[in-house]
């Protein structure tokens, strides 16, 4: 296929992901991909997360519908997998908690009656990994986030403009999230 | 605009023609400011006008210019870029059109690229396995692939060196975020080595396939995506699963798919460093290694960086 390129899986910490609530499409086409813009200007159509699965629950009524909570040093991601994510749902159903997991998925948002926007992840793949991979992810996500924060300060790309106008992000807030995450790698248990 | 006018005037000067700079500027100004003509177009039009009025041959004006710099073939990745190439003609193909003199593949140490010699170039014919210097050729992009055009401003010189054709190896480091279908335990056509789909070869129809292992992986570093193909050696290396054990596994389960499932389970979501040759959108992997740890210094540097933001 000409002109098609796979969406990059962005690296975003849980706290930043939770604080995101701007979704949009490029263009009016019904098949245009949906994006979630995060406060530091990551344009997310796919995320890659490695964290600890700490809770899981089957919240489905008729068929299985699994909800998992995956934490990173800054907070947690909610993962929902149902019949249309059979591979992920199966692994979620079978695995023990806590466990280190790697999730590739699409961001999705839900607006509550009060108008709050909740973000979650619909997994394309869900696999058990190890602690080293999780640490590597924290490092990589910190690096990506630092890059975005820097671009936020002096960049002028449309994404950055959009994020700035909508969120008016507090740069100190996000740099301290990154710093805390990195420092958590220094702690030995 | 002043610069542009001076540039044009200087070039005409070299050809021994004195044109009042005011006249050039006036024409440029009219084009650009009054009629909103893009700069490059305006320049071309102004140059053409003076060429005509002073009766100068177009080619004289343009070909007198210095040749484009000789570059590596791996650098020919920009539509419309002019460059020179030193390389060996690897293959010549049948050409399909009378206005084309020759079509083929030329390579240097850094890679290979298709080239087309147009009839209008009046260039000497090239031969396979001989090395040439292609001067002033232009890169052209079609369907995401690049090729070189040898046209009438280009020239071809035969050179005596035997150029070693190589492929530049590139590296990529990131997480494996997906393994695509067509991976795991597959069957290949015994005649042409193509992977079979549903037991049939595209070329030779239903055949008794030969088992092989391969992985079509999607690597992602958070900034870009790289498709990668792992051949049997690398697959066995990284999964610890041999072709024999994969066949046994599939036989036990009566399903080839379990091999792929198992590979996904052990590889997806983890970090790897790969090296290989880029072919189209794929990286043909020559070596792959797991990334388990990071340097403390990396962590310290990032902390320092985060602190100063």
pLDDT for residue A2 is more than 50: no
Let me know: does B174 contact B226? Beta carbons within 8 Å.
Answer: yes
* Judgement on whether residues B91 and B184 belong to the same structural domain of the protein: no
Closest chain B residue to A126 measured between Cα atoms? Answer: B269
Which domain, by its residues, includes B107? 73-158
More confident residue, B263 or A153: B263
Please tell me the distance from the alpha carbon of residue A68 to that of residue A58, in angstroms, as a whole number.
Answer: 9
Q: What is the pLDDT of residue B309?
A: 82
Query: Is B308 a member of any domain?
Result: no
Between A124, A128, A142, which is nearest B302 by CB?
A142
Whole-angstrom distance, CA of residue A154 vs CA of residue B131: 49
Rounded CA-CA distance A83/A67 in Å is 12
What's the distance, Cα to Cα, between the start and end of chain A in Å? 49
Residue A182 is nearest to which of B225, B292, B303, comparing CB atoms?
Answer: B303
Number of structural domains chain B divides into: 3
For range A119-142, the mean pLDDT: 96
pLDDT band at A1; cut points 50, 70, 90 = very low
Give the separation between CA B294 and CA B309, rounded to whole angstroms: 23
> Does some domain include residue B303?
no
- In CATH, the number for domain A9-184 is 2.40.50.140
Specify if B305 maps to a domain.
no
Record the pTM. 0.72
CB B287 within 8 A of CB B274: yes
Higher pLDDT among residues A181 and A186, named by residue? A181
In the A/B pair of chains, how many CB contacts fall below 8 A?
102
* Per-block mean pLDDT, blocks of 10 residues, chain B (309 long): 82 80 88 84 86 79 67 84 88 84 88 89 89 90 85 87 78 95 92 88 89 96 94 94 95 92 95 88 92 91 90
Q: What per-residue confidence (pLDDT) applies to A119?
A: 96
> Is B227 contained in some domain?
yes
Joined tokens for residue B162: 């035997």
Per-residue pLDDT, averaged over A118-144, amounts to 95
Instruction: Give me the residue from B271, B292, B306 closest to A179, CB to CB.
Output: B306
Distance from CA of B298 to the nearest CA of A (A): 9
Averaged pLDDT, A3-19: 91
For residue B302, tell me if it sits in a domain. no
DSSP sequence for chain B = -HHHHHHHHHHHHHTT----HHHHHHHHHIIIIIS---HHHHHHHHHHHHHHHTT--HHHHHHTSPPPPB--GGG--STT-EEEEEEEEEEEE----TTEEEEEEEEETTEEEEEEEEGGG-PPPP-TT-EEEEEEEEEEEETTEEEEEE-TT-EEEE-SS-PPP---EEEEEEEEEEE-TT-EEEEE-TTT-PBPBTTEETTTEE---EEEEEEEEEEE-SS-EEEEEE-HHHHHHHH---HHHHHHHHHHHT-THHHHHHHHHHHTTSEEEEEEEEETTEEEEEEEEE-----HHHHHHHHHHHHH-
pLDDT value for A97: 87
pLDDT at B64 (0 to 100): 52
> And the tokens for A186?
């220094």
Cα angle value B296/B298/B299 (rounded, 5°): 65
- Shared domain for B285 and B174, answered yes or no, is yes
CATH code (residue B209): 2.40.50.140
Per residue in B144-188, pLDDT (tens digit) is 788 999 988 888 988 888 887 777 688 999 999 999 999 999 999
The answer to whether residues B176 and B281 belong to one domain is yes
Chain A nearest-CA distance from B144, in A, is: 8
Please determine, for residue A189, whether its predicted confidence score (pLDDT) is greater than 60. no
What's the ipTM? 0.92
């Amino acid at each position: 296929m000409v002109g098609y390129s796979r969406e990059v899986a962005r690296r975003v910490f849980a706290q930043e992901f939770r604080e995101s609530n701007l979704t949009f499409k490029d263009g009016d086409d019904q098949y245009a991909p949906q994006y979630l813009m995060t406060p530091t200007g990551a344009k997310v159509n796919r995320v890659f997360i490695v964290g600890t699965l700490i809770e899981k629950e089957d919240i489905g009524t008729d068929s299985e519908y699994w909800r998992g909570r995956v934490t990173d040093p800054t907070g947690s991601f909610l993962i929902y997998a149902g019949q249309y994510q059979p591979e992920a749902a199966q692994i979620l159903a079978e695995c023990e908690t806590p466990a280190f997991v790697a999730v590739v998925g699409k961001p999705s948002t839900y607006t509550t009656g009060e108008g709050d926007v909740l973000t979650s992840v619909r997994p394309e793949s869900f696999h058990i990994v190890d602690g080293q991979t999780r640490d590597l992810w924290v490092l990589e996500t910190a690096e990506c986030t630092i890059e975005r924060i820097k671009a936020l300060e002096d960049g002028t790309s449309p994404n950055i403009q959009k994020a700035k106008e909508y969120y008016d992000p507090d740069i100190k807030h996000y740099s301290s999230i990154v710093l805390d995450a990195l420092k958590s790698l220094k702690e030995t248990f | 605009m002043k610069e542009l006018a001076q540039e044009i005037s200087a070039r005409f000067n070299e050809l021994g023609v004195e044109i009042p700079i005011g006249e050039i500027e006036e024409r440029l100004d009219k084009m650009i400011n009054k009629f909103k003509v893009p700069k490059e177009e305006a320049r071309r039009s102004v140059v053409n006008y003076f060429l005509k009025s002073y009766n100068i041959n177009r080619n004289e004006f343009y070909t007198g210019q210095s040749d484009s710099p000789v570059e590596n073939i791996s650098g020919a990745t920009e539509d419309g870029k002019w460059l020179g190439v030193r390389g060996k003609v690897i293959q010549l193909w049948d050409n399909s059109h009378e206005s084309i003199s020759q079509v083929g593949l030329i390579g240097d140490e850094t890679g290979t690229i298709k080239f087309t010699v147009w009839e209008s170039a009046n260039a000497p014919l090239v031969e396979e396995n001989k090395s040439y210097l292609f001067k002033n050729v232009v890169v052209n992009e079609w369907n995401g692939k690049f090729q070189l055009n040898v046209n009438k401003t280009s020239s071809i010189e035969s050179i005596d060196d035997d150029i070693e054709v190589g492929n530049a190896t590139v590296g990529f480091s990131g997480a494996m975020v997906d393994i695509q279908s067509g991976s795991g335990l597959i069957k290949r056509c015994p005649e042409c080595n193509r992977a079979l789909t549903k037991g049939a070869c595209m070329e030779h129809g239903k055949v008794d396939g030969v088992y092989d292992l391969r992985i079509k992986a999607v690597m992602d570093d958070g900034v870009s995506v790289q498709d990668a193909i792992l051949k049997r050696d690398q697959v066995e290396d990284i999964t610890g699963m041999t072709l024999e054990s994969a066949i046994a596994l599939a036989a036990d389960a009566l399903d080839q798919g379990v091999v792929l499932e198992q590979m996904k389970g052990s590889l997806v979501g983890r970090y790897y460093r790969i090296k290989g040759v880029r072919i189209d959108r794929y990286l043909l992997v020559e070596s792959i290694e797991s990334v388990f740890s990071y340097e403390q210094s990396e962590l310290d540097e990032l902390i320092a960086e985060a602190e100063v933001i």
